Amino acid sequence: MFVDLTANLASELITRTSETARVQQMVQLSLAPVFLLAAIGAVLNVMNVRLIWIVDRVSAIEAGTAEDRAHEELAALRRRQKFASLAITFSSVAALIICLVIALMFISAFVRPAMGTLVAICWVGAMLLVIGSLIFFMRETQIAAASAKERRALSRAIEKQLDEQEG
């Protein structure tokens, strides 16, 4: 019985997907999410390069190979590292969800239960993650663009805040 059901399902799926026009339509519909994936990939590349630089800078400061005043900026660097890491995480999850959207779009074209609501929910979720990622990235770049004096002041404020939370 299970073998017959599986064979019938496979036969029906092959029949439905054999329509070239239908497959072409699904490929066309998936182009927008694919372009978004490419854009997220480009932004991820930039964010990864920035994060690597921050991690290297923190390591140099902690190893004592950086200039003396650099220690004063360590807390700000760690905050930048946190924001960059969150931006990368949000972008990566968004990209995974967009891949899921593309897969669901193809599947929904060839199966009976409608998946439009699930596709829409996933798409909105992915967009919210992209927005969050860009906000964290913007915050990281704002700290990076601040003057050295402003970064040292920010570091002192962060350290004071951490001391108050611990004490």
- Please spell the DSSP secondary structure of 94-159, one letter per residue: HHHHHHHHHHHHHHHHHSSS--HHHHHHHHHHHHHHHHHHHHHHHHHHHHHHS-HHHHHHHHHHHH
pLDDT at 94: 98
Q: How confident is the model at residue 12 (pLDDT cuts 50, 70, 90)?
A: low
For the cut 90, the answer to whether the pLDDT of residue 130 exceeds it is yes
Name the helix (H) or strand (E) containing 46.
helix 31-63
pLDDT at 71: 85
One DSSP character per residue, 58-77 reads HHHHHHT-S-GGGGGGHHHH
State residue 27's pLDDT score: 77
Q: State the Cα–Cα distance between residues 163 and 15, nearest whole angstrom.
A: 67
Task: Provide the 8-state DSSP code for 147.
Answer: -
Bigger pLDDT: 116 vs 133: 133
Q: Out of 69-78, 89-98, 111-120, pick the least confident.
A: 111-120
Amino acid making up residue 40: I
Calculate the alpha carbon distances from 115 to 9, 68, 147 in Å: 18, 59, 51
- Look at residue 128 and tell me whether its pLDDT is greater than 90: yes
Q: Which run of H or of E encompasses 78? A: helix 74-110
Give me the pLDDT at residue 67, please. 80
Q: What percent of the chain has pLDDT over 70?
A: 89
Residue 115 has pLDDT above 90, yes or no: no
Q: What is the mean pLDDT of residues 59-67?
A: 86
| pLDDT the model gives residue 19 | 64
